[in-house]
Structure 1
Amino acid sequence: MTEEGPAGLDLRSLSGYLGTPVAATLIPGGRSNLTYHLVAGGDDLVLRRPPLGHVLATAHDMGREFRVISALAQTPVPVPQAVRFCPDETVIGAPFYLMQRVEGTVFRSADQTDPLGAGRRRDLAHTMMDTLAALHSVKPDEVGLGDFGRPDGYLARQVKRWSAQLDKSRSRPLPEVDALRDRLAATIPAPTGPGAIVHGDYRLDNLIVAPDGSAIRAVLDWEMATLGDPLADLGLLLTYWDVLGGPAAAGAAGVVSTGLGPRAGFPSGADLIERYVAAGGVDVGPLDWHVALGCFKLAVISEGIYYRYTLGQTVGAGFERFAEMAGPLTAHGLAAIASVEG
């Protein structure tokens, strides 16, 4: 820690803002927004702020994250307790928010989950899907999120949004990613219903779990949450689970995903979807288009992170490996979209 604090956090300014001395450490593992553990007076807190530099329009909106976890506090969806949102960029150089720290484990590797055994791994995966079904069952109007997004045209806007972010994050030619974008745009499916609260990046390593895997204590990283088609959450989860967590992607573990999935002894993606439906999730039809969208999104996110790395705007190690991800993600996405095209 420097005198001013870890990278991206000015402790002297933050201490003045909070009116108490602050100690802070960067929480490793995040590849987008930066997350810090704070001890401020007698409070044990977590601070979230956008990444350093190259912040794309509509991305990394701290106010939206703070609003959604505040709204979900009284629902069955476990979230950290929201404490304070600060839109004033002069405090630490960017907007940020504070939440109470939640004790538990973030499972990021098979080394962590192997001791659980097959039965508890299965139970954890099922609880993960129960929680996602609970999120999609929340009525936005009932928790003050009726204006949190526009469900109509959500999937078309997703393709357009991630296409725009790709164009703003280019450091090299990406013809296969461009081809996947064009084929997604030409085959957008009809919406599945009136819209739901969509997390936008739901996966096992965005959850705080009891160390024995018995319960999910908090869902984290709400930066892409909105109102939209819940099948997008399922498609992205299957991309993490079956594509990056499957036997064909062992080399991808630890880059955009921890690689936790069937390769690490967890149930298949099909088992997860069956559990989701049994837990009261939305009707699920073919998910190939949504998996292709998930592959496209992760390819764009990887390129954005790699672009920030080339500009020296990342904090931590291993960011150079994001250059490897566009190829395998795009190949799987193109295979998935081919089944939609007939």
Structure 2
Amino acid sequence: MTAPASAGTTEFDKESLRNHLRDKLGPDGGLFVLERIGGGQSNPSFFLDYGDRRLVLRKQPAGPILKGAHAIDREYRVLEALFPTGVPVPEPVHYCSDEGVIGTPFYLMKRVEGRVFTDTSLAELPADQRRDIWMAVARTMAAMHALRPETVGLGDFGKPGNYFERQISRWDRQYRQSDLQPIAPIEQLHDWLSANLPEDDGRVALCHGDFRLGNLMFHPTEARVVAVLDWELSTLGHPLADLGFCCMPWHTAPDEYGGLLGIDLAEMRLPSEGEFVACYMKAAPDSPPLLPFHKAFALYRFAVIFVGIAERARLGNASDPEAARFAPLAERFAIRALEIANREPHKLGPF
């Protein structure tokens, strides 16, 4: 995943965890090493060496959280459902709902070895490898959407029908739970989305909810996804919600959470948004077309997510100690979505 932080940066009683795991997994043989994984805005994660097991621990953040956020139990359920399928996920090991152990629910999964790319331009890779990485993203997403939820025990993982209508309502509620000052572009965008809902076509798939390059782990040497990570926002929904979300880099600038807007894609040997979407459509030939609505909706959701990050930073329980720096992006992402909605070219430079 990402570089581990100091082993001393845990926020809970390690001996309590060790005692719990001794009961569940057996003795550790004297090897119990816990290291915080740096980065991330959501559920805190840790590398755990327990005996001969190389694991990852994921938990809810400490302190107050917004209702419905940080759904650790749902994450674990998805891993259990998908691990036997061809969709690459880490192997689930143990789920604990008892907050008395480390202060919040948590789960363990086996550690997967591979590469995670947080730079959407893939500048660290040779130019001739960048396109293949992005095409692997598209194909993996299509494979996930091809699964029938009821066949993997997820038929009740979300409500059927009217997905986008329900999601707009949900994210509006989450936005309004925050004590931050109102953000006019987010509220304008909410109104546009509500007025431009596409007709419900009845499609239902497992949606990741945060399907982007940084949440995928790739084979150490090949352009192949070996694990899809961070399933806390997953639900049953419309597959174009994930596709629109994954298209965000083409509509945001490098200083806006690492987008591609303004980068010379041809010079960097990166695919255009159209080429990326075409790769997905080839792997999902019965998919309806991706509309401006789907991309604007994706940016709206991420804008509200940034509101949540800013709120956690204000409350002092964000996973990233520098999370406050992301607060301005809530408004910026809403502006980008309104540019799409109004079919205006994206503006570069200061707002």
TM-score when scaled to structure 2? 0.88
- The aligned amino acid for 2:330 is A
Q: Name the structure 1 match of 2:97.
A: 87
Taking only aligned residues, the RMSD between alpha carbons, in angstroms, comes to: 2.2
Shift of 1:54: 3.2
Q: 1:38 to 1:281 in 2, by over 3 A?
A: farther
- The aligned amino acid for 1:337 is A
Quick check: 1:210 aligned with 2:219? yes
- CA offsets per residue over residues 54-84 of structure 1, 9 Å max, x none? 3222221111111111111122210000101
- The aligned amino acid for 2:20 is Y
Aligned mate of 1:243, from 251, 269, 274: 251
Q: Name the structure 2 match of 1:321.
A: 325
Q: Name the structure 2 match of 1:134.
A: 143
Distance between the aligned counterparts of 2:261 and 2:157, measured in 1?
31
Aligned mate of 1:7, from 10, 13, 16: 10
Q: Name the structure 1 match of 2:115.
A: 105
- The aligned amino acid for 2:337 is G
Distance between the aligned counterparts of 2:179 and 2:341, measured in 1?
23
What SS does the corresponding residue of 1:217 show, helix, strand or coil?
Answer: strand
- The aligned amino acid for 1:87 is S
TM-score when scaled to structure 1? 0.90
Q: Name the structure 1 match of 2:60.
A: 50
**Which shifted more, 43-52 or 311-320?**
311-320
Distance between the aligned counterparts of 1:80 and 1:315, measured in 2?
21
Distance between the aligned counterparts of 2:286 and 2:105, measured in 1?
35
* Identity %, equivalent residues: 39
Distance between the aligned counterparts of 1:86 and 1:115, measured in 2?
38
Q: Name the structure 2 match of 1:270.
A: 274
What SS does the corresponding residue of 2:301 show, helix, strand or coil?
Answer: helix
Q: 1:48 to 1:260 in 2, by over 3 A?
A: farther
Distance between the aligned counterparts of 1:110 and 1:230, measured in 2?
22
- The aligned amino acid for 2:167 is Q
> How many positions carry a matched residue from both structures?
329
Q: Name the structure 1 match of 2:240.
A: 231
In structure 1, stretches of 5+ residues that fail to align are: none
Aligned mate of 1:123, from 132, 142, 145: 132
Distance between the aligned counterparts of 2:141 and 2:53, measured in 1?
30
In structure 2, stretches of 5+ residues that fail to align are: 23-27, 345-351
1:140-289 maps to which residues of 2 (within 5 A)?
140-239=149-248, 241-244=249-252, 249-252=253-256, 257-259=257-259, 263=263, 265=268, 266-280=270-284, 282-289=286-293
Distance between the aligned counterparts of 1:262 and 1:197, measured in 2?
33
Q: 1:197 to 1:281 in 2, by over 3 A?
A: farther
Q: 1:92 to 1:281 in 2, by over 3 A?
A: farther
Kept in 1: contact 2:207–2:237 (CA 8 A): yes
